[in-house]
Structure 1
Amino acid sequence: MNRKYFGTDGIRGRTNELEMNADLAMKVGMAAGKHFQRGTHRHRVVIGKDTRRSGYMVENALVAGFTAVGMDVVQFGPIPTPAVALLAHSMRADLGVMISASHNPYYDNGIKLFGPDGYKLSDEDELQIEAMLDQTIPLAASQDIGRARRVEDARGRYIHAVKSSFPADLRLDGLKIVIDCANGAAYQVAPSALWELGAEVVAIGVTPNGTNINDKCGSTAPQLLQETVVSTGADVGIALDGDADRLIVVDENGAIVNGDQIMALIAADFARAGTLRGGGLVATIMSNLGLERHLAAQGIRLERTKVGDRYVLERMREGGFNVGGEQSGHMILSDYATTGDGTVAALQVLAALVRAGKRASEVLHQFDPVPQLLKNVRFAGGKPLEHDAVKRVIAQAEQELNGGGRLVIRPSGTEPVIRVMAEGDREDQVKDVVERICNAVAMAAS
């Protein structure tokens, strides 16, 4: 069955255009609510959101849908995505919902769903909910309509859980940390957690106004973080994205440390402590070949999945791994969370810094990545990757890189672009391969 609404990370799109509007949100509430009404208990859904202005519209529409089919609703207000997953489970909810378009601009929004176990929904659950969106959904009887209430201490509960992931014998005293919250969901909780653990905190990206989320700040625009770390003489910088499920780190010199380096650091730290499970870590096809070589030299296995943290998590659960993530900064540490959590992962990085007693630049840069280039080709419609001319160029490039690099070409799951990535030991060859494939795709898409 082809997906009409759900992508690689829930439903996402530009608000009040196409599908991401109040009408769809209400239908999602009705369909998901009805799908998760199992058993005879009073059913409950918890809802969090980031700081987008459209969050009010989407939240109210979801509440209408859920209550219409008889589910009680607990609203948290602005709170990170991993907090929704955590609280859905701890509050014995039947479903958790996060309203966010993650790292996208403010005019986009999205709906992410979590099951009662705190994990993102399976493909089967999403497809069943999607099928119901075009059907007539039975409503609850008048006396069974659900109620809605707000819980004011949700952020405090999450801060406590985050701090519990930090080693009890360590403190952050003496560390000056810049935290960039992207004017998003973690603008209150992340600085508070760091301060409570003893750090001197310089907080930026903590003045959301509904339209400045991810705007020249956060993990996808780390320049502000880099400048602030250097200008304030901080020891390290941490950037989260709009819903705080990913992070990027900056060392004291302002150099960016991406998800591959973070995974290498955490996996090695866990391996030394004897707590790394599964014999390695799980990453996606986009992670650098240098990471794979670096881990292999330490006897740590790297397993790759399709792009998307849901696929990383699926493999982690199947293979018993407790460390996984993406180059983009999604870090899943299953000892502490059921989904990506940028703040929890940041605390593991900070713990490694404290233990080492060295500068961030000496600890965070674990390996030298091989040359890698990623370019996006936007297309209006059709399937350009199925054109014979494109297939020929790709086959030739694969033959050229054989044994000395990798080629990854895929359509985005969230926008109409083809992502072309190549990596190898020769930078000139990598650039040439990517340019040729991008040109072929652009011609086929025109």
Structure 2
Amino acid sequence: MKLKSLAVLPVIAALLCAGVTAAHAIPDITDPFASLAAGSEPSHILVDGFGDIYTLNTGNGSISKIHPDGTFDGSFHAEFPPLSQPNSFATDGHGALYVSSYSASTVWRVDSATGTIDSGFSTHLGTELDGQLPESVTVDLAGNIFVATYSPAAVVKIAPTGDVLGRFALALGSGPVDITTDWAGSVYTANAGDSTISRVAFGGAGAGVVDRRFAVLDTGAMPISVTSNNRGQLYTANSGDNTVSTIDLALPPGSAPATTTLMPPDSYPYNVSSDRLGNVFVTNLGTASVSLFESTGRFTPVVAQLTSAETPEAAAISGYGQLYTANGLSSTVTRFGLGPTFAMSPVASARVGDSYSSGVTVTGLDPMTFSVTGFLPPGIGVDKGTGTLAGTPTTAGTFTFDLVAANVAGATAQTVTITVAPAPGSTGCWYWHEACGL
């Protein structure tokens, strides 16, 4: 397990202790979903738009690419120089991964299809980051790369070509260890050294304005991970006081303190990540669990529980509600099906005049809600809380509709066809005494 590259970070003695009350959840768990090479020690994880999973392996200096079915991509091969210890990566969503290395003081651009390191990017970047100890990297919607460097404390803006576009100094001793962007293009750093959040905002002309104390957290909070959701909020995992902070980005800088959530005892929140719905997931090293801050603000202490032998160093969620954790201690990836997944469909046959009732089996997080798109057989309705279809059919025929299950992690539609037979002795038609061919 590789902790953040900051000597003053506290290390919780009982990292593997349990004891957090389980949430009301029934995710479909695959553990392990993938087993990496011994000593890989994955520290970060990403999921792309195709559902492929990438792990950044700090232990052996590589990236692994895993398909949604759990198989490894044999055509992908990404390895970095010995002892370089890559410590962060990000994707531009268009075929490139950017990897920062604290030890090698550089950033690499990697082809997400093959794993090949882009030599042209490395040539353009050259020695621009030498000795600056890049802690973390992120990419904005325009494809610009931003790196948080520890010495000196700064944000460095890099073009996709590898050319440095700007440097933005942060406060001396601030100790930036993580970096993220929001939908407006602003960049934020989590500063463990002075328990602050810095922001670099860019105007229409591209000039950056630095607010070194955009938000001030509690003394000793020591934020080590930061993410923004698409609802105008910033979240930090704070290693110093076992908390998670929420900052409203709509408020003027420094106008309101961060909202602080005290995590369950010995959680040791380590990484925060967000999904496309605005939910934020927190990995907890101490309790081997994942917590959830919903986009509505509701907090669930445990939505995914691993064994005590795991250390979920990071998490990522796909557009289909699949949560993946990178487990540094065991060099594995675990998958939790948080989004709705149908495991059993309703009974497909019914008869006019006979009572009909059929439930469904769906895995995922509770609470779950159900709805129908299309037309149910007349006389049959859906229970919005359970998905049970029930009633007494009044009309013969074949009816096809979509039963939709939704929860905080997403929505899934199951196409259902129910054939309703005529009542015994009926011709099937109300207007004719002979059979209608039903």
Q: TM range, normalised to the smaller chain?
A: under 0.3
TM-score normalised by length of structure 2: 0.27
TM-score norm. by structure 1 comes to 0.27
Which structure has the larger Rg? 2
The structure that is helix-richer by fraction is 1
